[in-house]
Amino acid sequence: MSNENKPSFMLVDGMALLFRAYFATAVTGQFMINSKGIPTNGVYGFVKHFLTAVSSFKPTHVAVCWDMGSKTFRTEMYDGYKANRPDAPVELIPQFDLVKEVVEAFDVPNIGLAGYEADDCIGTIAKSAKEEANVKILTGDKDILQLIEDEISVALLQKGYGNYLVHTKETFFEANGILPRQMIDLKAFMGDTSDNYPGVKGIGEKTALKLLQQYEHIEGVLDNLHQLTKGQRTKIEQDLEMLHLSRQLAEIKCDVPIEYNLNDAILNFNHEKVMDKFAEVEFRGLQRFLDLKELA
């Protein structure tokens, strides 16, 4: 099937949209608490991001992936993984279930599996769907860029609504000088402060990029340690174990045991059902986002 005739499948990183929407309004204390006492600011913003992206990219199929709790195979591997993250704000907690209910009202599948992150579900689905669909991943999380291939692109949310930085294999290489897959080894060397693992102490992005451009991957670097500067060699040798562990933490797992069916993700929602849900949650002013693309 030629690329033009393939369905276009948008995989949404639900947490990335929800958190971005929540924090954009929480700073000014606009929690939008409804008559049932439930804050709705994150879900409201999520819907705006979701509908704006549907209108911008016009996917034929959509699914939303979620984290299912903070305990995953990565926390088993490394105690410190994401240990620096504060607990979710109290106003956000009831919105985790509410946002999934709203997604259900659009007849869009919510996908997640305990023990894995949303990224792992996204990676697994993207890799298995790429034969039959052009996949676009909507996220704010640069880690997902490692999944880019010919049939998989990534739309990174920028400031505001409807602003995206879309990366394909070509644009990624132009911007970074490495291939998307090499991002895993890049993070293994430089670590990730937001996920709280150190990589190799003293090796930053600039050095890591240079090493990967020259030697392709971690194995290539280790085979050529004798050619590195004494400082680089010492740092890598001292942190060899953490280098390998960091690579395991950085790599998105693309063989998660989840069931999904592309046909379940066909985007064809019932306008009335969605409006009923909006009324129940007490959302106002979203009608125009629904009208952006007549999907009824």
pLDDT over 90 at 175, yes or no: yes
Average pLDDT, the chain: 94
Q: Taking 90 as the threshold, does the pLDDT of residue 292 lie above it?
A: no
CATH number of 8-176+253-291: 3.40.50.1010
pTM: 0.95
**One-letter amino acid of 72:** T
pLDDT tens, residue by residue, 220-254: 999 999 999 999 999 999 999 999 999 999 999 99
Domain boundaries, the chain: 8-176+253-291, 180-250
Give the integer Cα–Cα distance in Å for 178 and 185. Answer: 11
pLDDT tens profile 56-110: 999 999 999 999 988 999 999 999 999 999 989 999 999 999 999 999 999 999 9
Q: Taking the CA of residue 127 as centre, how many other CA atoms within 13 Å lie in the half-sphere pointing to its CB?
A: 14
On whether the CB atoms of residues 9 and 264 are closer than 8 A, the answer is no
* Mean pLDDT, residues 155-180 taken together: 96
3-state secondary structure of 206: helix
Q: What is d(CA 121, CA 255) in angstroms, rounded to the nearest whole number?
A: 8
Report the chain's C-alpha Rg in angstroms.
Answer: 21
In this predicted model, what pLDDT tens digit does every residue of 24-52 receive, in sequence order? 999 898 999 999 999 999 999 999 999 99
The answer to whether domain 180-250 has CATH 1.10.150.20 is: yes
